[in-house]
Structure 1
Amino acid sequence: MSSSSTPQVITCKAAVAWGAGEPLVMEEVEVSPPHHSEIRIQVVSTSLCRSDLVAWESQTIFPRVFGHEASGIVESVGEGVTEFKEGDHVLAVFIGECMTCRLCKSGKTNICQALGLERKGVMHSDQKTRFSIKGKPVYHYCAVSSFSEYTVVHSGCAVKVSPNAPLERICLLSCGVAAGLGAAWNVADVSEGSTVVIFGLGTVGLSVAQGAKVRGASRIIGVDSNPQKCEKAKAFGITEVVNPNSCEEPIAQVIKRITDGGADFSFECIGDTDMITTALQSCCDGWGLTVTLGVPKVKPEMSAHYGLLLMGRTLKGSLYGGWKPKSDLPSLVEKYVNKEIKIDDYVTHDLPFDDINKAFNLMREGKCLRCVIHMPR
């Protein structure tokens, strides 16, 4: 498409979810041209994140195109977009950075007032969808909806990256790997020689481990009940693994016993609010810091005895590891290109788009870290 032509509706293939837990169906969808401040992306690679699985199993907005870890190439740009041009390589991200709101300008957070979490399945600008089937709307997910050959995102939810970086791998930086590294570096600021405990050894937990190892943590304890995950963990920096199913005492007591009173840092990477309390209990008095990263499938409310905080512990939430997408992601991609961080090791399966339901099954059965889904080119 030449830069002077007007973008038209594109008909392409998308994996559409029609109901909670139902297998995705390959459908012909119409993808609208990008509106003001939007870009349309040809998706190259997308990976399945546990958040997609949780939403697919539990949410009520359907039909829907899931997917939010994605890399691609800009196909067309909407009115008012000057940052991107056709052919740019980009990462699509589930949180935006408008760079002008109070929060963006504060330097204190990566939360954006204008482009916060999208929950209703529609675009920020007009509360409508850009996907349809025979004139009927198909809803978005997490401002990205990458389980489609083409998607439309707000330009604030995309990051231009080096064309030298392999799109089939850096898609993992759109969520999981970046979230874990950032939790260790930006949110917790893990210190050299410290003791770290990580609850949940999926992609996010193992990315926390990688980040803690880079920072020089002396002991990185992984907690997970899946023996398959435990076997792979040490390659990412985990120094020892505890399986709660093999313990005769509560896991928090085990951690406190083997760390002489508790870890310096604990990370909840499961999405279980009861586990947040356990992670707090596993921290030491005085300065123990717990960071929660998981998205709960049920019971979003949490409870903990006030005494845990009274004794000097801190609980912090982490969204996307504190990274500001536009400001920070290009340098993270550069770290990967320079072999300063690992990404490839998290990819356990490469699958064609037509096998996307296999990816969901593998994750549901705990048999993968990241499945990268490749679009036909």
Structure 2
Amino acid sequence: MDRKRRYERAIEWAGVTTEPTIVDWDGEELSVVWEEESLALSLSGDGTLLQYEDDRPSEGEEVSDDELRLRAERWIVRHAGPIFDQFPAVRMTSHGHRVTYSYEMERSSLAVPHTGCRVTLDRSGRVVHYVYRGVRDVPERIVRLEEDVARRALLRDVVVERTVRDGRWVDHVRFPTYRADCETLTVVEQPYREEEDVRYVAVDWPKTPPRPLETFIDSLQQMTCLRTVPHEQTTVSVYGFPRPPQHAPHTWETYFRDRSEQTVKVARDASGRVQGLFSFVELPPTDKRWSRSARRQTALAFLETVLPPSSRESLCERVVPSRFEDEAFRLEVVDETNGVIDSVTVQVSDVTNRVVSYQGFQWEEATRHRLRTARLPSIESTQHALQEQLKATLAWEWDGESYELVYRAVGQTGRPLIGRDVETGEWLDS
């Protein structure tokens, strides 16, 4: 299908009449974005719809699950054709106000990931996300390991770490993945482990006189606020130098250059306190480098500016063997028994000794206090409960190039385990 016809098809499927913000050709793949309408889609060289995103607010009354599936399948037939015989493994997952239907290939009676298509609808029946992956070559495999052998190995090699998730203490579980077509256990992937050589030290705050935020960030004093954008629980202000407006449509390259080049983005909460920032200002070429000690003083002085005293009091400095000279400074709220509650991170340029990025606390102070004072069972209670919860199941694993038949850890629901709510004992799955 030629480019003109593909572009016309994209406009037709989007169903909007305004001019696109972005029209980008990556080889033969076409991406079209309407920023004001919160709508984006991409087509392959033969005109197949590869991806569709609709972030407009939900409207209308909820429809039944049967109606949702009917609308999902109508969408697939319209945009990909009657492909259900190719992708017989059907799975439905519900998450908040949305429902996702996945249609995948099957091999050895197992669903094959990264094949077929996936469509997500809101409860009113409107399609908000779609992705098409098509057909892949999947080899035949003979199972050689027994499930019980794999299960015992999973229980032996599991990594359990206490973390904070969604504002609550969770014992996060991570498992290895074992190949199922071997005579003996062969690990495909080991579970990630947090760095063990970590220590925490009290923060020696420099107690410097208060400084305006602008003095910590390159060029911010000379910039003006170009636009302000609501984002989740914050408002993001974009600072930069006024320039002539660029005419749409952009390519992805010109869009990001126009939006971000030589800008500073600052996120503030409802009270006006800085929650995050990132500088896209290009640094001047120089051979001079600021020491880590000098940059640490800048990072701490910056935190004295953006954090209230009550928040600073609970912070410890995280110290690990530095792998990179320009590594960010990270301070954490730590419970000695249970682990890290929250953190702030500051990156300071070794060229200018100015702040280039900052990520503030994730939780409110009241939540941090509740987490710090919670009375919790030991992590061994989760390790014991895991004996009753864990099953080993066969699954196809895609490594980006080929498939392997593996044993994976799942819970009693048949879904991969994420962890266990420490206070309620509830198991969390993906």
Q: Which has the larger helix fraction?
A: 1
TM normalised by structure 2 equals 0.21
Counting strand residues as a fraction of each chain, which structure ranks higher?
A: 2
- Structure label with greater radius of gyration: 2
